[in-house]
Structure 1
Amino acid sequence: MKVQGKLWSGILAGCMVLSTVLAGCSSNAGKSEAPKPAESAKSDTANSTGKSLTVLVEGGSPANTVATQTAEEFKQKTGYEVKIETVPYIGVYDKLNADIRANKGSYDVATIDILWFPALAKGLTSMGDLMSDNVKKDLFPNLIDGGTVDGEVLGMPVWTNSKVLLYRSDLFNDPKEQEAFKAEYGYDLKPPANWQQYRDVAKFFTRDTNNDGVKDMYGTSVFGMNNGDSVASWLDHAAQAGAKPMVVGKDNKALVNTEPYVKALDFLTTILNKDKSAPEGALNMASSETSEMFWNGKLAMMLAWGHFYVPSNDPAKSKVAGKVGVAPMIGGDAGIGVIPGPWYQVIPDSSKQKDIAKQYVQFVYEKNELFMEALGVAARKSVFEKYSKRPEYAHLNALQTTLEAPQTQNRPILARWNQIEGEALVSAIQAALSGTESPQSALTKAAASINEIQGK
């Protein structure tokens, strides 16, 4: 899940209240067993020159929050000071990649986006020894695979996330709205579970609420901005339409011009251009813009990352606080499916103290519930189960259902994914949404571009 600086600000504003309780949060994430310490023939204490560990994280992120809050406890346990280096989102990749290539050993641990594994894999240390059976059982499907390249486990997940359905419960529960919807569509108004219901509800709630001749509330939104958010949103629907594997086949040739992908893009263009139940400015909208509209009462529904439920119910952030419900992601012909957005801790091979770095990764795994407090999601099932009992974390059951759906799957592990996303997929989505090309035509061109990038 790529989350840009502006979006972190929105997340952190929505989670500000939660941060005050982090210091008193229990470190026991659940009944699942923590990883066993890695064995080593040599002591890191002997190899270390400064009794310190350098951790690279995105500034203002949950990874930064948790690293800061746990640094003193780790020092008390091990004698190692945790030095935290913060950089902007893409700076994490740039810094880590440059350090690995130069073999400098500036960083011992880093928290990275799943998207970066293909490019960084050759410079990362295996973490297979941390993945006991009990650890595996406590992690969501696809999490281990998401951090595995060529059979080597290279990352320990710290959180996972996906889109779910957030909706205005006050509107859905209004008897007048229920009566009007049933009269028009012939079935009961409820949170939509499939594409047709989603379209119907979105059209129903798109309206001019003050009778000035201008629509001021839409049923939903469509992501069309020039970034990875629009690609992930489209791929969510491709998975729902039956796409598997994602984007490329076993031969690494593009699949994006095949039926599930075309259906998914047609679904989005229909909502935007035919039904007109999403704002016209879709090419300038993604998660941040959609959430702002929803929080300001301008959308009846949004398909948003699960953690957005927390700020949606924060009166300091949202005008519709207390009026927001949550349901699993909608399903297509193949059922529910999404592209999750996990992050991982990794250890670069260039680190001069891998043993203490693995101890740190184990330590943070045991503190996994701190990510739930900081962001509203975590990696461990036991943490989800514990927090789902609290009303402020009502999104977790819907999120768990979505993450465990059979069609939920990771993006492909491709070294040139960023290029494929930026040069082929975003432009195809925008061409279709703008109406300049049909979904089939746009994706046929995207497939040719992907094959060229892949050398196929």
Structure 2
Amino acid sequence: MMWKIVCWIWVVLGIAVVAVGSDKVPAWQLINWDGPVSAAERLSADEYVLPEGWEEAVAGVTEIVYFNSGALRHDPATVVNIERFEALTGIKVRAIEVSSLILFDKTLSVLVSRDLSIHGMSLTDAPLELSQVIGAGWAAPLPFWTPEVQNIYPKALVDAMRGADGRVYATCDTMRVYVLFYRPSWLKAAGVEKVPETWQEVREAALKCREWAVKNLGPDYWGIVFPGKYNLAHMLQAGIYSQGARVLVDGKPVWNSPEGRNSWQLWYDFIATDKSAPEACLGYTWNDYQEVFAKGKAAMMLGFSTYIVRCSNPELAPGIQTDVFGNPVEGGDFAVVAPPKWDVNHPESHRAAFIDFDGFIVNPFADDKHQAAVMLFAEFRMSKEACRNEVLVEGNDAFFPGVYDDPEVLGKIRFPEALRLSAQNAVMEAFPPGSKHSIDILVEYFGKAVTGQMDAQDALDAAQKEIDEIYW
């Protein structure tokens, strides 16, 4: 009997605590996000304007803590934006550097345990992870996403951050479009008469570049490189989107559609049939293959726009500061164009690839003042000022499209037309829970095909069968 009485006491106390707590206005509601001017105007200004009421909302907060995807030494724009936010608010930002390989696992650990000490998190694979986090109630809805604000950002990205209730639960940490990198001197030396505009032309050019390189540079120089690990999915998507198709069918991933089969065969052929790409691609992560290109070991790659800045830097990309004959080239011996379309029969709008972005969420279990402070940080990072830093300092793409109307930005970035076309045609599909595992399955069977353990198309069908079991 005594334990029942104790239990009832705890229940009554719990109800009382909830009742008392429910009368408190959350700190972020003390902020007038549409003051002193509308949120859209504040975000669009050349210099970010803090909203009205922010000081009262975050009173007593001296530091916010968040998980950053990877090391800050690779995120110079993030460092600049952190310093700017600290100067604006007086709030210190502590970024905990977490490898992208374990970031989502650590994030889930914090959220499942309702840890109060981590106030915000980056999501490296936001298109795959956001649906899981939002659906579980593990991200705070962000009040600054007014309808007016939503209208000035890319609709596809905003929709990818939206919950079933219509509210938006994330911002864009960083974003990158894919472009086709190539070495002009290498293509010319190999007898490639024009820059490839279709994937069929890329395949032909890669084979010519490989054959020329074996004779003139050595056996470890390749026509094309790409990732055969996790980001293999992005390569497959590029091939599918270039045919005007999509991966998701009724909300579920279908990789062995006719267009998916074509794309799978293309990337398989680069290694197994043409030998224009190394089998080592099977072990390449998202940055490994791009570093191979930066070292001058490949003629082409479908790579992140971020690498335009990296490849232009003699210290970071010493292997491409000369042409293939050893002659210095100012700015580097490379150029980029928008992703290829599938073949000449497809329209220019099919020069499309996946748009990769890292999301940023606020921990809903943190206390309300720290949530309000992290919301301010998240909003600042999606402003024109912060996005301009992403473009100019790091070479990322701007989540805020108005950055590209800034003459200062246009005067400083390279290949603006290729970037514009790639961003314009880029495709965003928000994948359902379980998609990370489905990509692991794709990677496994792609490796089996390339190494001769299975027929290429049989391997794809086997992979799709296992993927279907996740969703059906």
Q: Per-residue displacement from partner, 1:372-395 (whole Å, max 9, x unpaired)?
A: 24431132223244465345x314
- Provide the secondary structure at the position in 1 that maps to 2:97: strand
- Contact 2:179/2:336 (CA < 8 Å) preserved in 1? yes
Letter in 1 for 2:114: N
Q: Per-residue displacement from partner, 1:292-341 (whole Å, max 9, x unpaired)?
A: 33233322211111111222122122221221111001111552221211
Q: Within 1, Cα distance between the matches of 2:238 and 2:437?
A: 20
Residue of structure 1 equivalent to 2:231: 229
Compute the displacement of 1:230 (Å): 1.4
- Contact 1:62/1:375 (CA < 8 Å) preserved in 2? no
- Contact 1:140/1:404 (CA < 8 Å) preserved in 2? no
Q: 2:67 aligns with which of 32, 35, 56?
A: 56
1:54-133 map, 5 Å: 54-61=65-72, 65-66=76-77, 68-71=79-82, 73-113=84-124, 114=126, 115-121=128-134, 122-127=137-142, 129-133=144-148
Q: Within 2, Cα distance between the matches of 1:239 and 1:210?
A: 32
Task: Give the 3 Å change call, closer, same or farther, for CA 45–315 of structure 1 in structure 2.
Answer: closer
- Contact 1:428/1:445 (CA < 8 Å) preserved in 2? yes
Q: 1:402 aligns with which of 404, 422, 435?
A: 422
Query: Could you list the runs of 5+ residues in structure 1 that have no partner in the other structure?
Result: 1-27, 182-188
More displaced 10-residue stretch of structure 1: 315-324 or 256-265: 315-324
- Contact 2:65/2:117 (CA < 8 Å) preserved in 1? yes
Task: Give the 3 Å change call, closer, same or farther, for CA 421–411 of structure 1 in structure 2.
Answer: farther
- Contact 2:144/2:379 (CA < 8 Å) preserved in 1? no
Compute the displacement of 1:191 (Å): 1.6
1:296-335 map, 5 Å: 296-316=295-315, 317-321=317-321, 322-332=332-342, 335=350
Q: Within 1, Cα distance between the matches of 2:74 and 2:298?
A: 31
TM-score under structure 1 normalisation? Answer: 0.78
Task: Give the 3 Å change call, closer, same or farther, for CA 75–256 of structure 1 in structure 2.
Answer: closer
1:450 aligns with 2:467: yes
Query: Could you list the runs of 5+ residues in structure 2 that have no partner in the other structure?
Result: 1-41, 322-331
Letter in 1 for 2:203: R
Task: Give the 3 Å change call, closer, same or farther, for CA 128–234 of structure 1 in structure 2.
Answer: farther
Q: Within 1, Cα distance between the matches of 2:297 and 2:58?
A: 57
Compute the displacement of 1:74 (Å): 3.4
Task: Give the 3 Å change call, closer, same or farther, for CA 415–376 of structure 1 in structure 2.
Answer: same
Q: Within 1, Cα distance between the matches of 2:428 and 2:465?
A: 22
1:242 aligns with 2:244: yes
Compute the displacement of 1:437 (Å): 2.4
Q: Within 2, Cα distance between the matches of 1:355 and 1:435?
A: 55
Q: Within 2, Cα distance between the matches of 1:143 and 1:218?
A: 35
- Percentage identity across aligned positions? 18
1:198 aligns with 2:212: no
Compute the displacement of 1:158 (Å): 3.1
Q: 2:366 aligns with which of 351, 355, 358?
A: 351
Q: Within 1, Cα distance between the matches of 2:173 and 2:409?
A: 18
> What value does the CA root-mean-square deviation take over the aligned residues?
3.1
Q: Which has the larger radius of gyration?
A: 2
Task: Give the 3 Å change call, closer, same or farther, for CA 98–398 of structure 1 in structure 2.
Answer: same
Q: Within 2, Cα distance between the matches of 1:314 and 1:76?
A: 30
- Contact 2:213/2:222 (CA < 8 Å) preserved in 1? no
Q: How many pairs align?
A: 404
- Contact 2:227/2:282 (CA < 8 Å) preserved in 1? yes
Compute the displacement of 1:32 (Å): 8.0
Letter in 1 for 2:198: N
1:255 aligns with 2:269: no
- Provide the secondary structure at the position in 2 that maps to 1:55: strand
Task: Give the 3 Å change call, closer, same or farther, for CA 141–278 of structure 1 in structure 2.
Answer: farther
TM-score under structure 2 normalisation? Answer: 0.76
Q: Per-residue displacement from partner, 1:43-99 (whole Å, max 9, x unpaired)?
A: 4345x5x43322321342479645544445434543433333332224432333222
**Greater relative contact order (Cα < 8 A, sep 6+):** 1
